[in-house]
Structure formats: structure tokens, C-alpha cells
Amino acid sequence: MYKINGSANVNAIKAATEQGVRRFVYISATDFGLVNYLLRGYYDGKRYTETELTSSFPKGGVILRPGFIHGTRKVGKINLPLSIIGAPLEMVLQHAKLLTKVPLIGPLFITPVHVSSLAKVAVRAAIDPAFPPGILDVYDILQQSRQIST
């Protein structure tokens, strides 16, 4: 997991830097506390990439940190409708941000985000020079997505 979520992405950042790319958007992952430990290679790779991105693109690097991303996922010939679970959770949990601060169980209350909302923000961050660099958590992603939709 570290190679894919760390080394491979860092190589992409370095190649983009060498080619003179001005903006780089990276879809990372939110901090889920204990889950980070259980999936250490995945999260260590994500944070390694974030560190490289912020140093290589201080004025044009955008890091998006969603939690559970829902939509329809294709697995072979099967379509998994993740929004059956994700959409209702997103509706409820986007108003429960304070619960995310509860020790140990708080990360379970991080709101999911629809894949199209995440995509809108990622594209805007990549092509709009006025989009500020930095890290956007799931609540920032949802807010930016609503602004794009209006």
C-alpha cells in the first residue's frame, strides 16, 4: 500500500515538477484515528505524498481529504451502489461535525462525500488559479462543491 499511495504518487509529483506543472491536486484521505494504525501503509503513503506535495507545490498544491466516498463502484461486472449507504449518512452526518471530536469514536461520524462532489472540487482546484492551495477536509469539500453547483 505504501508503494502505491506513497512512492508512486511522489514520483508523479516529481515528474510534474520537472515538467513545469503549476498546480497539482491530490486526493488523500481523512484521519480516521485507529483505522490509520490498522492500515498503516496506506495512510503513511498518503502522508508521505502530502509532505512532498506541500514542499514541491507550495503555491499550487491542493490536498483533498475525503472520508468515505460514495457513488456507484464497478467491481468486475457488478455495480455496487455505495450511495444506498453513503447518501443518507451524508445527509445526517454533515450536520454532526461536533461528534467527530469525541475521543476514539469521533472519526466514525465523519460525513461521506459523493464522488461527483469530490470530482467537481478536484477539477476546479486543478484549473482555477484563484483556488487557494492547501488542505481541504470533507467539510471544506462539501462547501466548495455547493459553491460550484450554485
Going by C-alpha positions, the residue among 114, 116, 148, 117 that lies closest to residue 131 is 148
Sign of the CA dihedral with 33 first, then 37, 38, and 40 last: positive
CB neighbour class for 126 (10 Å; exposed up to 12, middle 13-18, buried from 19):
middle
Reported pTM: 0.92
Q: What is the pLDDT of residue 29?
A: 94
Q: What is the pLDDT of residue 82?
A: 96
Q: What is the pLDDT of residue 97?
A: 93
* CATH architecture under which domain 2-149 falls: 3-Layer(aba) Sandwich (3.40)
Q: What is the pLDDT of residue 39?
A: 82
Extents of the domains making up the chain: 2-149
Q: What is the pLDDT of residue 73?
A: 95
Per-residue pLDDT of the chain (150 residues; tens, 9 = 90+): 788 878 999 999 999 999 999 999 999 999 887 777 778 888 899 999 999 999 999 999 999 999 999 999 999 999 999 999 999 999 999 999 999 999 888 999 999 999 999 999 999 999 999 999 999 999 999 999 999 877
Q: What is the pLDDT of residue 90?
A: 96
Q: What is the pLDDT of residue 37?
A: 75
Q: What is the pLDDT of residue 34?
A: 74
